[in-house]
Amino acid sequence: MNMKAEPLSSLGCYEEGMDWNPVEKVIFERRSIRSFRKEPLPDGMIRRILEAGRFAPSAGNMQPWRVIVVKSPGILAALERDAVRMAKLFMFFLDYTRGGTLRRLITKPLAKFFIRLLPNELHAVPFGLLSQIAQGKTPVFHGAPTLILLVEDRRGVSCPATDIGICGQNMVLAAHSLGAGACWIGLIKLCLYFPRWRRKFGIRRPYTLNDCLALGWQKPRADGPVPREVQLVEWYDGEIEDAPRIEKQGE
């Protein structure tokens, strides 16, 4: 956090236009941190962050998560290497944004087919990122000294994926409030195409792994507020048959 001496409101009260309270400050200044110091956080601090996850709300209090902390430099390097390998394999067949016309002719229809099959994994944003990773222009795990794998137990109540998100975000906010940095990384999925990583981490029924957190000391400190898109929010606050009033949130 860029700790400027700014006034903060106290917790547990609201007045219109008041300063942020400490919780809001952490929420608004949290940036996904992708540049870390080499040395990991002390174990005590990691445990403190995990504790925030343990007390996250979950459907039916089923806590459908299994947490794996990876600190071993050997494993981290191997994960990075295999993720890059898989990104290169994917992009060899699918990246139509590079290379000549012939390459584009062949790979574009194939890419469009796979984008339809995996629209979330191959959305324009991760597609561009995978292309950069395959070209060796950016790393996958950002050299993070610690990864926290958030394994989901698919037998959870209602929608266990939501619970994983809540649990992880609790940890991320706790980490930032303690002066550390964290980043959600979904590309851990690349490693799971290798059976050896599935075996190693025990990712089989009833477990599934979609996301992990990179965790460490920020280098440089990059937390701070950013502008974001003004959003349209529907307010149903009239009569029962009235159409919603659409308000611009953030304007």
Residues at the contact surface with another protein, assessed by CB under 8 A: 16-20, 28, 31-32, 34-35, 96-98, 108, 112, 115-116, 119, 123-125, 127-129, 132, 136-139, 143, 220, 222-233, 246-248, 250-251
Residues 6+ apart with CB under 8 A from 173: 26, 27, 30, 52
Nearer to another protein, 22 or 60 (CB): 22
* Minimum gap (Å) between residue 67 Cβ and another protein: 24
Q: Virtual CA dihedral for 87, 89, 94, 95, nearest 10 degrees? A: 60
Minimum CB distance to another protein, residue 71 (Å): 20
Phi, psi of 36 (to 5 degrees): -120, 155
Nearest approach in angstroms of CB 182 to another protein is: 14
**Looking at beta carbons only, is 205 or 228 nearer to another protein?**
228
- Nearest-approach distance from CB 55 to another protein, in angstroms: 26
For residues 76 and 151, which CB has a smaller minimum distance to another protein in the complex? 76
Cβ proximity to another protein: between 71 and 108 the closer is: 108
- Min separation Cβ 157 and another protein, Å: 28
Backbone phi and psi for residue 220, each to the nearest 5 degrees, phi listed first: -80, 170
The rounded Cα 160 to chain-centroid distance in angstroms is: 16
Q: Max CA-CA distance within the chain?
A: 63
147 token code pair: 């990864």
Residue 116 or 205 with smaller CB distance to another protein: 116
**In angstroms, what is the minimal distance from the CB of 83 to another protein?**
15
The residue (of 205 and 248) whose beta carbon lies closer to another protein is 248
Q: For helices 124-134 and 73-94, give the axis angle rounded to 10 degrees.
A: 110
DSSP character for 59? Answer: G
Q: Are 218 and 232 in contact (CB under 8 A)?
A: no
CB 40 within 8 A of CB 69: no
